[in-house]
Structures are given as structure tokens and as C-alpha cells.
Amino acid sequence: MSRFRAIVPGLLGAGLSVCLAFGCAAREPALPDISTAQAPVLRDLADIRLAVESIDCDDLNQCSVVARGVYQGRTVGLKVVFGVRAGTGRGIAYQSIGGESDALLDAMATRYGQPLSSPHFAARVSGDMIVLSGDLRRVRTSPVQAKVFLFANGAESSNAELYTNVDATRGVLEILEKDPSYRRNVLAALAR
């Protein structure tokens, strides 16, 4: 028997023992840090990028995206539903997934340098949406970029605008500021 044939089974056996002892199962990729900024972002836009965990679409072109990230060591996340039926058009909804959404709201307030009216993310916040690029019917295979209007039917002073994009091929959900002047209203819309 060659020396190679005698050594390989021993190495494989040792490797299996190490895997059983320490775990060699495929690991989930680390969640992205939504920002390296630890303080309010006052002179620039405080954009947020999260890792897409799942995309579920129904027959009516309504797609739910669950995404998570990390901010200052805490897991943050939410569910965004693209294509929510709103009257004759399509809208968007931001939904809480529990404590991770509360942590996201807190992270946004920290990054925005704004106080929160409530520490809890609302169960569901709906807004008007204009798809700027992409196609909701193909959200699983091509990027969708949307401009979002919150409190669109309320007083002008309480309106908030932002962008929400999903790119399934890159595995990224983005919540991007349109203008820092909307920060207080965005937080008020998302808090319950």
C-alpha cells in the first residue's frame, strides 16, 4: 500500500473528529453592519443597507422582503412589502418583526440625531410608492428602486419621503434618505 493511501484515511478521520467536536456545518454569512458611524450623521445622508433573508411573492405581484443587519452589536431588521394594493395603485408597507425592528428604529434615531416619540416600531406603516426602476413582477431576479411617500394624505409639514430599494441578486435592501429634513417625520411615521 502506498504511503499516500495510508495517510489520507487517517487525515480524513481526524478532520471528521474535528468537525464533530467544533462543528463544520455551513454557517450563515455574517449580517452586514448597517453603518460604521457611531454618532449622528449630520452632514451627509444616513443610508441603511440590510441583508435580504427572504423574498416571498404572491400571485398579485406583492412581495415581502425580510432583511436584517447589525448596528453597534445589535441585530436590526424589518419586513418591507412592495406592491401593497392601495386604492387604484400600488404602495409599500414597513412591518415590524419584533425587537429587531425596535432596534432598527433606535439605530435610525441615533444616526439621524433625532429623538423618538416611541421606542417601538409600528406593527405596519403604509405609504405611497413610485417605482423608479425595475419591475415588481421580477423583484426576485432584478433590482427594484422605489420612492416612498409617508403621510402622503396628511398635512404638508408631516410628509416624509425616502427611497427603498431591493436587489435580490446582491442580497441587499436599502433604506435611503431623500433629504435630512425628513428625518423627524420618517421616525414619527415608523414609531407607534
Indicate the Cα dihedral angle 179, 64, 76, 174, nearest 10°: -30
List, as one string, the DSSP characters of 122-174.
Answer: -SEEEEEEEEEES-GGGTTTS-EEEEEEESTTS-GGG-EEEEEEEETTTTEEE
Contact by Cβ (8 Å): 77, 147: no
State how far the Cα of 112 lies from the Cα of 38, in Å rounded to an integer. 11
What is the percentage of the chain residues whose pLDDT exceeds 90?
62
Summary mean pLDDT of the chain: 83
pTM score, whole prediction? 0.79
pLDDT for residue 35: 65
Residue 133 confidence (pLDDT) above 60: yes
